Amino acid sequence: MKGIILAGGTGSRLYPLTKIINKHLLPVGPLPMICHGVEKLREAGIEEVLLVIGAHSAGLYANLLGSGEEWGVRITYKIQEEAGGIAQALGGARTFVQPGERFVVLLGDNLFEDELSVHTAAYAAQEKGARVLLKQVPDARRYGVPVLKGDRIESIIEKPKKPPSSYCVTGIYMYDYSVFEIIDGLVPSGRGELEITDVNNVYAARGELGYAMLKGWWTDAGTLQSLHEASARLMGGRS
């Protein structure tokens, strides 16, 4: 299984830190943010990794990670020419994946405790479709919230005023090659972007969107507060 880390975007919630450097290169605990996702993929036995990045700071990514040899993986880089949404960024990765292959997608600012290997194994055993990881959160209204039906997700509601559950869809996704056909059929949202929730809802409508729950901590380190909290967690036990 291959891995893709989406690390583009403008990082507006972390401005002015992101005025001079991409947010995924900011330090979180002992490492730059992007390195945590690379390590999670390597720990799961994933050796081929694609980083989708913006042109801003591209040279810094290359200086930090190089070919990936030092990190135990083989890294390929893809420039996202413009910020057009998560699904648009993922669509640019289609040449990295071959028909019939399955792969893991991480949002670069999602930091988490769980090991991925148990989830990739479950996805490999899933007959078809996609799989997402959920986490119980105190305020689900801030996220995409799943409507659960047995071992499948019936639909995902983006930032609902009255959440149907206390779970959110994290930025950890597993897809088959048909995801690129789905992306090709999307229309931009009101924000002018191709939304990953729309992708997941196509799988859900087919009855092909499986899920599992994260047991350990998880955070979207896209704000100053969550960046600080993630750093504190990752520094636990280190001197």
Structural contact between residues 33 and 41, judged by C-beta atoms closer than 8 angstroms: no
Of the ranges 16-30, 79-93, 113-127, which is most confident? 113-127
Q: Above 50 in pLDDT, residue 71?
A: yes
Three-state DSSP class for residue 162: coil
For range 79-100, the mean pLDDT: 90
Q: Above 80 in pLDDT, residue 96?
A: yes
pTM over 0.95: no
Structural contact between residues 73 and 42, judged by C-beta atoms closer than 8 angstroms: yes
Q: Is residue 54 part of a domain?
A: yes
Amino acid letter, residue 75: I
Bridge-partner residues for 74, per DSSP?
Answer: 48
Q: Which residues, 6 or more positions from 107, have their beta carbon under 8 angstroms from its beta carbon?
A: 5, 6, 86, 171, 172, 220
Question: How many distinct structural domains can be found in the chain?
Answer: 1
Q: For the segment 130-178, what is each residue's pLDDT rounded down to a tens digit?
A: 999 999 999 899 899 999 988 899 999 999 999 999 999 999 999 999 9
Task: Spell out the SS3 assignment of 19-72.
Answer: HCCCHHHCEECCEEHHHHHHHHHHHCCCCEEEEEEECCCHHHHHHHHCCCHHHC
Give residue 237's pLDDT.
Answer: 42
Range of the domain at 212: 2-234
Q: Is residue 239 part of a domain?
A: no
Three-state DSSP class for residue 6: strand
Where residue 128 sits, what CATH number does that domain have?
3.90.550.10
Nearest to 213 by CA among 169, 165, 171: 169
Which one has a higher pLDDT value, 17 or 127? 127
Q: Is residue 226 part of a domain?
A: yes
Nearest to 192 by CA among 88, 65, 115: 88
Q: For the segment 49-59, what is each residue's pLDDT rounded down to a tens digit?
A: 999 998 888 89
Determine the Cα–Cα distance for residues 122 and 142; give it in Å rounded to an integer: 28
DSSP string covering 181-232, please? HHHHT----TTSS--HHHHHHHHHHTT-EEEEE--S-EEE--SHHHHHHHHH
Q: Above 60 in pLDDT, residue 209?
A: yes
Give residue 234's pLDDT.
Answer: 85
Q: Is residue 75 part of a domain?
A: yes
For range 171-191, the mean pLDDT: 95
Q: Is residue 87 part of a domain?
A: yes
Structural contact between residues 53 and 83, judged by C-beta atoms closer than 8 angstroms: no
Percent with pLDDT over 70 in the chain: 97
Mean pLDDT of the chain: 91
Determine the Cα–Cα distance for residues 97 and 3; give it in Å rounded to an integer: 9
For range 29-56, the mean pLDDT: 94
Give residue 11's pLDDT.
Answer: 63
When pLDDT is cut at 50, 70 and 90, the band that residue 10 belongs to is low
When pLDDT is cut at 50, 70 and 90, the band that residue 238 belongs to is very low
Give residue 190's pLDDT.
Answer: 85
Which one has a higher pLDDT value, 15 or 176? 176
